[in-house]
Chain A
């Protein structure tokens, strides 16, 4: 035994230690995988070992974050621009790519949905959020193609042909001369909170242009009415989590807080209970700053995530200075909206948010019973995928 535990056998000792660690880490996910396999057999099906292995890998990878970090470091040393289906742009930011997709089906469904809404006397607006890649300057590695913007162009053209009201924030961005890439995270496909605020001001201006009754106090749309605290190197976005922090680095994250009094009441399916208080009390989730960046997304700091929310602005009830326009909006949205909703909620009376990834069957009932002043759909071009979204499938 003494002969075995000697420095000459260090490779063996380290290997056995590594195997012991692997076994300790792997046993728990393997247990749940074995149970799943037993269920497969009990239900009379064949043992699909490929799907079991994939299930095991998914469970196991939750315990292997240091290895993902290490791998990112290795890939960085190799100078690779394509890692785990993520691509490094010329400017160093990370993205995934979207193939060319048929827009006809989801455009037809959206038109049906808009007609369903308008038949009930409710205005409908489709807002096209900014996409991660600038259509005129994609910065992708050679030979890598992305069609996110092109898909959105065709989708919007189909909606416009059908006479729907659309707001393309990409056009507004070009007109405003905004630097596109500086307003997106390096490690995440989302826009920054500052850009989310900018999008809110554009939406607010658009709605006021359509109908003056949508006008709210200009201070709510003035960025100078807010304080900004920039937390440095604290955010690892979804693309960064795929390739590890040594490859991706980390982003700064801004906390934007109104300098004026606010009062909201928020019900969200994430919390399962009501929150009452200021905008920060109700819509900020500061505990995410302390969470494991591989486990939780700091992007959810605003609104807590994509689950549905009912946000009531109590400013008028409380007699505050800035009360908004009192309108009620049903917002059908993707995650791009999380950094738009807080400011929009200050400018109107009530917002109910709806994410089609979680549920869609209650949507027609909600429209009929709640009768909002506006149904707004806000999607980014990356979300225009039929399989992902089942966009308004319930109408067909």
Chain B
């Protein structure tokens, strides 16, 4: 089920809120409701794979209990990691691995075509986080299978994050309080996310898709290459950060506080800063569970380089079983390593140079998104080449898409900066401010629902990861 679907907004969410606040009082009963709702939420989109989810809950629960005995903790941890990575490998990477082994070694392995369970990368990483946190003694073993089930399957962040680490939420599963202010913050956050996804991301999708399709066909004009790249770069941000906003907002409505996942990444002044602002929960997961255990940055320069490249290779692989995702991850690995080893731009004091570097960062990020979103690496190269050649030849396809997206692009560019929160801060306090705020959010909600009423096609990009 999608947050930006009529079935969610018109049936699922009102019913769950109604039962949660109208009929239930104890945290235990509410947790059971949220678990059932989460499984229904997942089953609606993946009726068969809900059993995979249940298996994941059961196995991770049992392995957690085994760790709780205090014996063979390392063995149980290894089994936890192997089980979760095994699921992920089977569903996400088996076909890719077989295909490449066949190409590389000339073997004839059967390449399985397995349908990817949505959100598998998110819930397996969350499950691993539980096992590792228990092993490290950072949290207690969860002896209530329903509570662990709720952690792994909780519907707001189930299928596209943020990746919630167990130690950040364990206490909230046991006890949480909702204040009117907290609930309202959740409502506003949810509406903001819905608007980002439906009004901005969906309206930019066609231009981005057209760019990638033309590039895959081998012919794309400079104008369309640029327009497609900009549209996709903004679409990806609003799609994913919109989902994260909705997840954080929904969590807040039920009394949970999730970590932030985005912080205006396109205003970053360096690649390191970009990754401190983009998909923050994934970055922290890799930092805590991969980078730090390998020694982090307190090692020799060659080892630091190795650590960074491993993390970014894994980040690329995490995003998908395709070479262009791996190239994208490695590209950022190289860029961040260069910044880390050189100390630039942290050590630079010249403002013009820093401004120039900010522009370069944005342009390289734009190019990296072409690699990320393209159908394959050759297609990405075709589009990047067209962007670099800067031909001014007229292109009716680009003219059409420019006409269709120009105002949305403008809005998207404006809201990619922290303008909205600053504007909200400037609102007068008291009745006038509340009225303006309510009017703006109501308008965003109604316009978003109007797109749903039109039956707009709106898959989330990050469901595939």
B-contacting residues of A (Cβ < 8 Å)?
Answer: 3-4, 6-12, 14-16, 18-20, 22-23, 25-27, 30, 46-47, 49, 53, 56-57, 60-61, 64, 67-68, 70-71, 74, 77-84, 141-144
Contact = CB atoms under 8 A, between A and B. Distances in A.
B391 interface: no
The 3 A-B pairs with the shortest beta carbon distances in the complex, nearest first, are A26-B10, A142-B396, A71-B450
Given A78-B407, A80-B404, 12 more contacts: A19-B17, A22-B9, A64-B449, A67-B450, A67-B453, A67-B454, A68-B450, A68-B454, A71-B451, A74-B447, A82-B404, A84-B455
B420 interface: no
Interface residues on B, range: 35 or more
25 contacts: A3-B180, A7-B431, A7-B434, A9-B184, A10-B438, A11-B434, A14-B441, A18-B442, A18-B449, A19-B14, A20-B14, A26-B11, A30-B11, A47-B47, A49-B43, A49-B45, A53-B7, A56-B6, A67-B446, A71-B447, A71-B451, A74-B447, A82-B404, A141-B400, A141-B403
B404 A81 contact: yes
A32 to B, nearest CB: 13
A26 B180 contact: no
B220 interface: no
A15 B249 CA distance: 13
B404 to A, nearest CB: 5
B399 A25 contact: no
Best-surrounded residue of A25, A78, A81, A83 (most CB of chain B within 10 A):
A78
B188 interface: yes
Contacts of A3: 180
Nearest to B17: A19
Given A11-B441, A19-B13, A81 B6 contact: no
Interface in B397-413: 397, 399-400, 403-404, 406-408
Contacts of A141: 400, 403
Nearest to A49: B44
Interface string B340-365: 00000000000000000000000000
Contacts of A47: 47
Interface in B408-450: 408, 431, 434-435, 437-438, 441-442, 445-447, 449-450
B6 A60 contact: yes
A61 B453 contact: yes
A4 B180 contact: yes
B404 A23 contact: no
B438 A26 contact: no
A317 B449 CA distance: 59
A141 B45 CA distance: 37
A26 B13 CA distance: 12
Interface string B175-190: 0000011011001100
Contacts of B445: 15, 18
Contacts of B447: 70-71, 74
A166 B449 CA distance: 49
A15 B187 contact: yes
A94 to B, nearest CB: 14
B438 A14 contact: yes
Nearest to B399: A142
A29 B334 CA distance: 53
Contacts of B408: 78
A11 B19 CA distance: 21
Contacts of B449: 18, 22, 64, 67
A14 B442 contact: yes
Contact of B180 (A9, A14, A20): A9
A143 B397 contact: yes
Contacts of B452: 67
Contacts of B403: 79-81, 141
B403 to A, nearest CB: 6
A10 B6 contact: no
Given A26-B6, A67-B453, A10 B435 contact: yes
Contacts of B435: 7, 10
Nearest to B436: A10
Contacts of B24: none
A142 B394 CA distance: 11
B248 to A, nearest CB: 15
A64 B404 contact: no
Contact of B188 (A11, A25, A26, A80): A11
B11 A143 contact: no
Interface in B179-203: 180-181, 183-184, 187-188, 191, 199, 203
A6 B437 CA distance: 14
A60 B7 CA distance: 10
A359 to B, nearest CB: 29
Interface string B198-217: 01000100100000000000
B400 A11 contact: no
Contact of B397 (A71, A82, A142): A142
Given A81-B404, A84-B454, A12 B180 contact: yes
A71 B453 contact: yes
B219 to A, nearest CB: 13
Best-surrounded residue of B406, B449, B455 (most CB of chain A within 10 A):
B455
Nearest to A82: B404
A27 B6 CA distance: 12
Nearest to B401: A143
A72 to B, nearest CB: 8
Nearest to A33: B7
Interface in B10-65: 10-11, 13-15, 17-18, 43-45, 47
Contact of A11 (B9, B13, B437): B437
Contacts of A25: 10
Interface string B126-167: 000000000000000000000000000000000000000000
A232 to B, nearest CB: 27
A70 B47 CA distance: 35
B5 interface: yes
Given A8-B434, A81-B404, A27 B11 contact: yes
B310 to A, nearest CB: 39
Contacts of B437: 10-11
